[in-house]
Amino acid sequence: MSVWNYVVTAHKPTNVTHSCVGNFTSPQELNLVIAKCTRIEIHLLTPHGLQPMLDVPIYGRIATLELFRPHGEPQDFLFIATERYKFCVLQWDAETSELITRAMGDVSDRIGRPTDNGQIGLIDPDCRLIGLHLYDGLFKVIPFDNKGQLKEAFNIRLEELLVLDIKFLYGCLKPTIVVLYQDNKDARHAKTYEIALKDKDFVEGPLSHTNLDNGAGILIPVPMPLGGVIIIGEETIVYCSVTAFKAIPIRPSITRAYGRVDADGSRYLLGDNAGFLHLLVITHERERVTGLKIEHLGETSVASTISYLDNAVVYIGSSYGDSQLIKLNLQPDAKGSYVEVLEKYVNLGPIVDFCVVDLERQGQGQVVTCSGAYKDGSLRIVRNGIGINEQASVELQGIKGLWSLRSSTNDPYDTFLVVSFINETRVLAMNMDDELEESEIEGFCAEAQTLFCQNAIHDQLVQVTANSVRLVSSTTRELLHEWNAPSGYSVNVATANASQVLLATGGGHLVYLEIGNGKLAEVKHVQLDYEISCLDINPSVENPNYSTLAAVGMWTDISVRIFSLPSLELLAKENLGGEIITRSVLLCTFEGVSYLLCTLGDGHLLNFLLNLSTGELSNRKKVSLGTQPIMLRTFSSKDTTHVFAASDRPTVIYSSNKKLLYSNVNLKEVSHMCPFNSAAFPDSLAIAKEGELSIGTIDDIQKLHIRTIPLGEHARRICHQEQSRTFAICSLKNCQTSNEETEMHFVRLLDYQTFEFISTYPLDTYEYGCSIISCSFSDDNNAYYCVGTAYVLPEENEPSKGRILVFVVEDGKLQLIAEKETKGAVYSLNAFNGKLLAAINQKIQLYKWMLREDGSRELQAECGHYGHILAFYVQTRGDFIVVGDLMKSISLLLYKHEEGAIEELARDYNANWMSAVEILDDDVFLGAENNYNLFTVRKNSDAATDEERGRLEVVGEYHLGEFVNRIRHGSLVMRLPDSEAGHIPTVIFGTINGVIGVVASLPHDQYVFLEKLQANLVKVIKGVGGLSHEQWRSFNNEKKTVDARNFLDGDLIESFLDLSRSRMDEIASSMGVPLEELCKKVEELTRLH
């Protein structure tokens, strides 16, 4: 029974909603503070850029974020107000690096209609009061006393009901607000009010301006000495003050954000909804404003907030694309842009849809999201992987190979890094200052490409080039012995270990040498039928210096062969099939199991179980890691062997529970890699990539990695089809013609690896793609993409017409096979009993897939069910259908085969406005609604009365604080069958803020245990700003607020592992559980995401 749920964040919110700059962490330091809905981040401005200091979870959705300087304080305070009417004032304590709460409170009113246009919070520039506009017709004032302490808040009646913006004016004797509002004829005006603190009332202010631009939306108060206010419209910008009025026309655009540049308020940055950045300049002579000027600077992500930082560097916070750090250049670039992007900060929001796919069939899901909006729309492939933290890098073009060498056999650290190029070999070495510098190993041939090199026994080094094998003393670095390739032959590939060398020359000659003290001995030579493409003699764990097996990859017959050493007798041969040659072979052992790994030129990897005594290969498995040839190399991290697969999609191969796992590495393209363990860079890897050699350490923890596929258009629905190895999306593109903005909608087919568009089906004018699935029908084995659409006509409130389109993928093209007109928008499609179940406006409709006489196919209506307002979200399980309605919560329907009818079994009678539903198990359904809550309902099939059976019982309620757009079954991590977490069913959700979260259904005893842990943690981990965890997680909508039940806050529970040892001990003892056991239980949970 999936009633006891655990909610945890796998990817934190990335949608930047607010930002501000000030001296927060010290009077001298300049900070950027940004809000990502439920978190704030504090950054420090440094010569090297933005340095992240702290990520602060807030128990609330942030509505206002402002830095301000109370009288007499040396540094700024942070004011935060949340959407659920709490506020706090935070101060940074530099001594303890803690956030201290200076004030907090509740500013809710018992009666009041929440504002439609969002909450507004503002602080008087002279710090006399805080103003809040939370309810229509009311303006709330929190006054400061003369010591900077806050006093009791009071309301003032605000005549204007539809308020668009409010700001404080600068330089007024009494605190004065300017209000931008819309009247009941939709005209927009601005007026000012002085706040009479003693009378607790407004007095008409000095300015008012009627009949502004119809799109006027933003007020910018101008500091003294100029004073006044700028009003930003869609077609004009006006400046008005008591003495001046100036206006300029602008190219029609919707300004979304502004940032002040100069302290005197003469320049502002404006960002519009197309991502264009403009500079607005107030020209003035002394203190008299003479006009306004606007200049186009360039393009950024669509900004939701703009903060000028320092020295022409600006932070662009975005809700629709990646946030950016940009520099404003004095001269335009080739494209005429003054904007240079310095850094990007990933934002997955808004996640409109996503799918969970297991492309490698490894049991590890990756999530592909439809992220971003407008021009910043993208697909993001989110996957658990391994991170490389770069420590040092140097530009080096054309690297052909990389090896690390120790200066003696017993040296714990590597000294040399041998870098091979097409015509030379260079040696880098660590010097006394722990820096890498160019060095020399005299006995090595520096004028040729190194094919292989290796530390050998007796303090020797071995280098293989096309002409010879050189044995060099690692102490004197002089050449001891050389084996020369027979004349007319050159060495093509070579490998070695501490005492053996195996090489291949043209003509299929395989030569085996053994390394003695100062001597190389040719032991065996055989000629094979074809050329040799790759070799390996990596020794087994038992005898690390000597291998009894050799792996050989062949051209022509595309085979891999196992030979015995030293006799070079063929033990096994495996034909790989296909026409792609083997590029790299590797003998390796993970967790006591021996494998042969073998990679192909097209990015595939094959693995075999290897019998070390017979050389026999078995259990062949093939996975695709990338599209380019893969080079394999072993390395160890934390005493465990891993394999690094260098390619266009570098991967680390490791083993867990005797199963090979593949984890992406967060690097773009790696051509070569070798372990490099030096004193300065312990346990590091040297990596050759894109003209660069870098040294980095590898993460020991797994974390999410995100690959971005920019689309330049907004993807709204996504679906994966395994059979055709494609994805399909419904997307829309905004097209700007000379004076009109139009939308074009598409169904697009994408390659499952490159994510390139391979086929496009344009939808009709006004036709939107609403749903997409991949399915098959009864009596038809083809896999189809079914797309549901709606004709969204400007004059209609709800679409009255739509289509269901059935496509098949043929030769990489979308072929329309059938189409069916519908009487409304097709909000959802599901494969259902070999048929197609569609949600069309208020109706659930089932279609059969019928064969016509001419052999073509068509969709034919079978039965339906009315009774919804708008059936937005539909999930099915067997014959059960769960519907999430626009405003009537969740209902459960049943398809009756015999009668060919759909009937309602039960419904939840609450008026929840749904945003997503998913079926957790036969009886329990999970819903998300538009007040950011999650809830579960249960089918009451055993109830005594019909009335009770017809009611879905609400069994769990929780305030997530996130707007969920989609819930799907799946897991982001490899599920290990013998771990406790492996048996816990999970669903994944995606939200507007870019959160990817997991809901895990726990066994009851585990739930009870963790609930107790959560109760203990709440006492120890305090809410920042004094905000209460219990209140934050309480289910809340317009009608009710009730405590959370049957949901646990996994983010809080897992923060147990971040606590100090003493705090952990404290909790363990109050729980009566040994600390080790408690830690293990919490760690298990972290493996759910």
Partner 1 sequence: MGSLLDDWPSYDPHNFSQLRPADSSAQPSKLTPVTYRPTHNKTLPPPDQVISTEARNILLRHFYQKSEEKFRPKRAASDHLTPEHSCKQPRCDYADGAD
From 46, 484, 543, 636, residue interacting with partner 1 (rule: CB under 8 A): 46
From 69, 101, 161, 1012, residue interacting with partner 1 (rule: CB under 8 A): 101
| Smallest distance, partner 1 to C-beta of residue 264, A | 9
CA pair distance 691, 675, nearest whole angstrom: 19
Helix (H, G, I), strand (E, B) or coil at 1014: helix
CB 790 within 8 A of CB 799: yes
199's tokens: 């009378």
Per CB under 8 A, contacts with partner 1 among 16-35 are 30
| Smallest distance, partner 1 to C-beta of residue 220, A | 17
Pairing of strands 659-665, 378-386: parallel
Per CB under 8 A, contacts with partner 1 among 292-311 are 293, 295, 308-311
The number of residues in the chain equals 1089
Q: Which amino acid is at 544?
A: P
| Smallest distance, partner 1 to C-beta of residue 282, A | 11
| Smallest distance, partner 1 to C-beta of residue 310, A | 4
From 80, 88, 417, 808, residue interacting with partner 1 (rule: CB under 8 A): 88
Q: Total residues at the site for partner 1 (CB under 8 A)?
A: 96
Residue 571 half-sphere exposure toward CB, CA atoms < 13 A: 20
Specify which residues 829 forms β-bridges with. Answer: 838
Main-chain phi, psi angles of 400, to 5 degrees: -110, -10
Verify binding: residue 1063, partner 1, rule CB under 8 A: yes
| Smallest distance, partner 1 to C-beta of residue 537, A | 36
Verify binding: residue 45, partner 1, rule CB under 8 A: yes
710's tokens: 């920019």
Verify binding: residue 43, partner 1, rule CB under 8 A: yes
Cα of first residue to Cα of last residue in the chain, in angstroms, is: 21
From 72, 95, 116, 157, residue interacting with partner 1 (rule: CB under 8 A): 157
| Smallest distance, partner 1 to C-beta of residue 276, A | 16
Helix (H, G, I), strand (E, B) or coil at 94: coil
CB 59 within 8 A of CB 1029: yes
CA pair distance 310, 462, nearest whole angstrom: 54
| Smallest distance, partner 1 to C-beta of residue 268, A | 12
CB 749 within 8 A of CB 760: yes
Helix (H, G, I), strand (E, B) or coil at 535: strand
Residue 613 half-sphere exposure toward CB, CA atoms < 13 A: 0
Pairing of strands 460-464, 684-689: unpaired
From 49, 682, 878, 1003, residue interacting with partner 1 (rule: CB under 8 A): 49
Which of 43/714 has CB closer to partner 1? Answer: 43
From 1025, 1046, 1049, 1088, residue interacting with partner 1 (rule: CB under 8 A): 1025
Which of 324/463 has CB closer to partner 1? Answer: 324
Which of 12/745 has CB closer to partner 1? Answer: 12
Verify binding: residue 51, partner 1, rule CB under 8 A: yes
| Smallest distance, partner 1 to C-beta of residue 974, A | 23
Which of 295/764 has CB closer to partner 1? Answer: 295
Which of 684/912 has CB closer to partner 1? Answer: 684
Verify binding: residue 1026, partner 1, rule CB under 8 A: yes
| Smallest distance, partner 1 to C-beta of residue 335, A | 12
Pairing of strands 468-473, 86-93: unpaired
Verify binding: residue 395, partner 1, rule CB under 8 A: no
770's tokens: 């609403």
- What x-and-dash track marks residues 671-690 binding partner 1 by CB under 8 A? -------------------x
| Smallest distance, partner 1 to C-beta of residue 178, A | 22
Verify binding: residue 397, partner 1, rule CB under 8 A: no
| Smallest distance, partner 1 to C-beta of residue 37, A | 15
Per CB under 8 A, contacts with partner 1 among 180-219 are 199-201
Which of 133/888 has CB closer to partner 1? Answer: 133
Verify binding: residue 55, partner 1, rule CB under 8 A: yes
| Smallest distance, partner 1 to C-beta of residue 728, A | 27
| Residue 556 Cα distances to 270, 627, 643, 678, 933, angstroms | 63, 21, 27, 41, 62
CA pair distance 1074, 1054, nearest whole angstrom: 17
Q: Among 87-95, 623-631, 635-643, 871-879, which window interacts with partner 1 (CB under 8 A)? A: 87-95
| Smallest distance, partner 1 to C-beta of residue 421, A | 23
Q: Among 372-380, 666-674, 866-874, 969-977, which window interacts with partner 1 (CB under 8 A)? A: 666-674
HEC assignment per residue over 341-359: EEEEECCCCCCCEEEEECC
Per CB under 8 A, contacts with partner 1 among 792-851 are none
Task: List CB contacts of 535: < 8 A, sequence separation 6 or more.
Answer: 493, 494, 495, 502, 503, 504, 550, 551, 552, 553, 585
Q: Among 86-94, 598-606, 831-839, 971-979, which window interacts with partner 1 (CB under 8 A)? A: 86-94
Q: Which amino acid is at 791?
A: Y
Residue 217 half-sphere exposure toward CB, CA atoms < 13 A: 14
- What x-and-dash track marks residues 312-351 binding partner 1 by CB under 8 A? xx--------x--x-xxxx-------x-xxxxxxx-----
Which of 295/522 has CB closer to partner 1? Answer: 295
Measured from the Cβ of residue 794, the count of other Cβ atoms closer than 10 Å reads 5
Q: Among 260-268, 359-367, 527-535, 602-610, which window interacts with partner 1 (CB under 8 A)? A: 260-268
Specify which residues 783 forms β-bridges with. Answer: none
Residue among 338, 260, 372 nearest 16 (CA)? 372
| Smallest distance, partner 1 to C-beta of residue 961, A | 16
Which of 143/365 has CB closer to partner 1? Answer: 143
Calculate ∠ Cα 616-568-516, nearest 5°: 120
| Smallest distance, partner 1 to C-beta of residue 65, A | 16
CB 175 within 8 A of CB 154: no
Verify binding: residue 47, partner 1, rule CB under 8 A: yes
From 898, 947, 1058, 1076, residue interacting with partner 1 (rule: CB under 8 A): 1058
Per CB under 8 A, contacts with partner 1 among 1004-1023 are 1020-1023
| Smallest distance, partner 1 to C-beta of residue 307, A | 13
| Smallest distance, partner 1 to C-beta of residue 99, A | 7
Specify which residues 79 forms β-bridges with. Answer: 66, 89
> Which segments of 300-442 are extended strands (E)?
303-310, 313-318, 323-328, 339-345, 353-357, 366-371, 378-386, 388-395, 401-405, 416-420, 425-430, 436-439
From 8, 42, 163, 504, residue interacting with partner 1 (rule: CB under 8 A): 42
Per CB under 8 A, contacts with partner 1 among 125-154 are 138, 140, 142, 149-154
Per CB under 8 A, contacts with partner 1 among 408-427 are none
Main-chain phi, psi angles of 775, to 5 degrees: -155, 170
CA pair distance 497, 772, nearest whole angstrom: 55
| Smallest distance, partner 1 to C-beta of residue 342, A | 5
Calculate ∠ Cα 681-682-683, nearest 5°: 120
From 1, 27, 52, 118, residue interacting with partner 1 (rule: CB under 8 A): 52
1086: left (phi over 0), alpha (psi -120 to 50) or beta: alpha
Main-chain phi, psi angles of 983, to 5 degrees: -100, 5
Cis peptide before 566 (omega within 30 of 0): yes
From 1, 27, 71, 93, residue interacting with partner 1 (rule: CB under 8 A): 93
Verify binding: residue 262, partner 1, rule CB under 8 A: yes
Which of 85/170 has CB closer to partner 1? Answer: 85
Verify binding: residue 668, partner 1, rule CB under 8 A: yes
